[in-house]
Amino acid sequence: MPHPVFQSFLNIYRVDTVPALLRPLHWFYAYSIALGLFVYSALVHHTSRIEYSGQEHLEGRSNYIFCIWHTFTPLYFCVFMKHAHHVWMEHPGWLMKHLHIFLRFVGVERIIFGSTGHSGREAADEIVECLKQGYSTVLAPDGPYGPPYVLHKGILHMSRQSGVPVISIEFSVARFFKLRGWDRKRIPLPFNSIKVRFSAPVQVTPENLSEAYTQIQKELGVPG
């Protein structure tokens, strides 16, 4: 969980309530960091050997709920730099603006503000409606605060309500360093070897909630 001081500072403003006096500095900070993240992701992407498996599982339909462990979010963006018809749910805190801009850089069409304690249920309902309209999304089901590698059931309910199946994405990366924090985010280095595996889609129904939970948890695995 984030440090209480950072959490308090994060919640001073929402991205849409930043005072006019602070907006120029806020936008400069956000765009600068977003551009840096994009350039670094592109560097890793274009200098690394990326191997994919399980791509045949993507051929059945046009939209899915993709899920990854929170630790792999930086690696995810180094692998997938283009997103067609995607909707994402993001924390509305003003210090997260750089991530919202970065998502635009990689092609995410819609961003819905919400997180645990910040209209998360309402945001999840909006995501479900977007999924019904044909959008895809990506969720880290052990977020936002862990425990790591433990599946939260929200993703199951979103799949059941929307009728959109879940595909787990498992990563393996040769060279990386870890950040401090509950999820120990793995930052891949350039000139790397990365393996990406897509699981078979899991369609969640009221009858198979327990089995779907076990299968998705198993497909995501526990990183070494």
Digit-by-digit pLDDT tens for the chain (224 residues) are: 555 655 565 667 888 888 899 899 999 999 999 999 999 999 999 999 999 999 999 988 899 999 999 999 999 999 999 999 999 999 888 889 999 999 999 999 999 998 766 678 899 999 999 999 999 999 999 988 889 999 999 999 999 999 999 999 999 999 999 999 899 999 999 999 999 999 999 999 999 999 999 999 999 999 87
Dihedral angle of Cα 161, 93, 141, 198, to the nearest 10 degrees:
90
Question: DSSP letter string over 59-80?
Answer: SS-S--EEE--GGGHHHHHHH-
Tell me the CB-side half-sphere exposure of residue 106, using CA atoms within 13 A.
Answer: 28
The answer to whether the predicted template modeling score (pTM) of the entire model surpasses 0.85 is yes
Residue 52 carries which side chain, given as an amino acid letter?
A: Y
pLDDT confidence of residue 17: 87
Torsion of CA 64, 80, 188, 54, to 10 degrees: 50
Q: How far apart are CA 132 and CA 128, in angstroms?
A: 6
Sequence-distant (≥ 6) Cβ neighbours of residue 143 within 8 angstroms: 70, 152, 183
Q: What are phi and psi of 174, to 5 degrees?
A: -75, -40
**Three-state DSSP class for residue 180:** coil
- The DSSP line for 196-219 is EEEPPPB---TTSHHHHHHHHHHH
